[in-house]
């Protein structure tokens, strides 16, 4: 069935590493606009991914932009790899390590116990200071980069599932699968788990594998969008 650009559709893409969610949107918008021979089409995305994260990004085209709010409320699944024993200001690889901590006491059993007791269900989470959260109309990450002190309030988020997929006691790396609600920051989860372990932690890889019914397996690589549109028009 040919694509109906007026009625619109949801296009799930696998956002590349290093690209912002808006950058991915702009690239796809340009591809579709050139295909249709118009200046610009209506398009939005449901749920921002950090530049250093990859995975499911839902682009809503045409009238499907009306579904963005509904899609953002869907449960999300991530696979996150953490480096234990070290922190960075952004809780990921955007900034270099700023502190290191002991890890000799950390075992898989200790981690599993903490995940069950403190990181499952409804939890309080303070968003990262390097985030898109707004303070007096300004993004927190912009204020941080301008040298201002940023204080964000804790928010309630829901962790439906969290499980250990891999733990390397030698390298002190931990891979988790997380199913969570809208507004959950996996970077903040890494920070908080590091603190709960009386150590430190930051993300070294993050992939969103699902939003609601949309899975990573359904996603197009951004370089394949042009061919996909041509094949379905």
Q: Minimal CA–CA distance to 41: which of 20, 63, 22?
A: 63
- Burial class (CB within 10 angstroms; exposed 0-12, middle 13-18, buried 19+) of 76: buried
At 173-204, the pLDDT tens digits run 999 999 999 999 999 999 999 999 999 999 99
pLDDT of residue 5: 84
Measured CA to CA, the distance from residue 114 to residue 122 in angstroms comes to 14
Cα separation, 165 vs 79, in Å, equals 9
176 versus 145: the higher-pLDDT residue is 176
Catalytic residue ranges: 50
Encode 1-46 in three state secondary structure: CCCCCCCCEEEEEEECCCCCHHHHHHHHHHHHHHHHCCCCCCEEEE
Cα 66 from Cα 8, distance rounded (Å) = 10
Dihedral sign of CA atoms 98, 99, 103, 105 in order: negative
Give per-residue pLDDT as tens, 46-91.
988 989 999 999 999 999 999 999 999 999 999 999 999 999 999 9
């Amino acid at each position: 069935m040919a694509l109906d650009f007026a009625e619109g559709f949801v296009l799930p893409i696998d956002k590349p590493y290093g690209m912002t969610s808006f950058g991915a949107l702009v690239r796809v918008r340009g591809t579709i606009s050139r295909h249709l021979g118009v200046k610009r089409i209506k398009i939005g995305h449901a749920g921002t991914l950090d530049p250093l994260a990859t995975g499911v990004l839902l682009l809503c085209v045409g009238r499907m932009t009306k579904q963005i709010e509904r899609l953002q409320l869907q449960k999300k699944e991530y696979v996150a790899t953490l480096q234990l024993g070290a922190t960075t200001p952004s809780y990921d690889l955007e900034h270099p390590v700023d502190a290191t901590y002991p890890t000799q006491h950390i075992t898989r059993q200790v981690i599993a116990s903490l995940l069950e007791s403190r990181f499952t269900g409804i939890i309080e989470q303070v968003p990262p200071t390097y985030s898109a959260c707004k303070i007096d109309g300004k993004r927190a990450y912009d204020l941080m980069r301008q040298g201002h002190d940023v204080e964000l309030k804790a928010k309630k988020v829901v962790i439906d599932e969290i499980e250990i997929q891999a733990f390397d006691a030698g390298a002190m790396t931990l891979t988790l699968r997380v199913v969570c609600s809208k507004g959950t920051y996996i970077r903040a989860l890494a920070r908080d788990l590091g603190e709960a372990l009386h150590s430190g932690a930051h993300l070294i890889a993050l992939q969103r594998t699902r939003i609601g019914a949309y899975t990573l397996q359904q996603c197009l690589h951004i370089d394949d969008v042009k061919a996909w549109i041509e094949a379905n028009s």
